[in-house]
Amino acid sequence: MKRILTALAMALAVAFPVSAPAQDTLPLGDISAYLNGIETAESSFTQFNEDGSRSTGTLYIKRPGRMRFEYDPPNSGVVIAGSGTVIVHDTKSNQPPETYPLKRTPLSIILASEVDLDRANMVVGHSTEGDLTVVRAQDPDNPEYGHIDLTFSADPVALRQWIITNEQGARTAVVLDGLTTGAALSNDLFNVQVKRGGSNR
């Protein structure tokens, strides 16, 4: 855990140096409106894993309910959320992908058709770190599913990174290079019906 947080802190220090006094915390209503305004988005990303490893790739989002992590070589993995399911698939493997319900991951919070961070017991942390706002959110009906720490910049509001803590307490951090919104994304990117030994792209 110390390795992932140290690596993440170093990445954020380079990407978002603190050059001004701490800003006011972004209101939850403004953050919810920003997330609800995203229909499609994509960004390159760097992922920091619990074991200290790091990987890069491209993220695609199509709200509601769809997300795709496509990893750069030598990683042959892809993670797809769609149709209420998340799959973790090694495109070079003949083994079937791992699957689990989207609702059991904190990513379901930002992929919901209507994000409402003011909902009772959804946000359990809301603070500033320098000029960034950090929101810790969970499924208020199922807090045992874990939580997500979302980091936003202001002027304009933009999602910069998140850390997911899963049901087992393991953490994964994703740092975005800058979301580009509004692009046309094919639904095929989010097809969770992956053929064995192949990709759905």
Domains: count for the chain = 1
In a domain, 130, yes or no: yes
Q: What is the domain extent for residue 120?
A: 2-12+21-178
Would residue 200 count as lying in a domain?
A: no
| Residue 43 located in a structural domain | yes
Is 197 a domain residue? no
Q: Is the pLDDT of residue 22 over 80?
A: no
CATH number at residue 62: 2.50.20.10
Omega of the bond leading into 101 within 30 degrees of 0 (cis): no
Residue 5's pLDDT is what? 47
CB 103 within 8 A of CB 111: no
Condensed to tens digits (0 to 9), the pLDDT of residues 126-152 reads 999 989 999 999 999 999 999 999 999
pLDDT at 90: 84
In this predicted model, what pLDDT tens digit does every residue of 4-20 receive, in sequence order? 444 444 444 434 444 44
Query: 85 pLDDT exceeds 80?
Result: yes
Burial 10-20 (b: 16+ CB within 10 A, else e): ebbeeebeeee
Q: Is residue 184 part of a domain?
A: no
Q: Within 10 A of 140 (CB to CB), how many other CB atoms are there?
A: 13
**pLDDT tens-place string over residues 148-200:** 999 999 989 999 999 999 988 999 999 999 999 999 999 999 998 865 444 55
Round to whole Å and give the CA distance between 190 and 193. Answer: 9
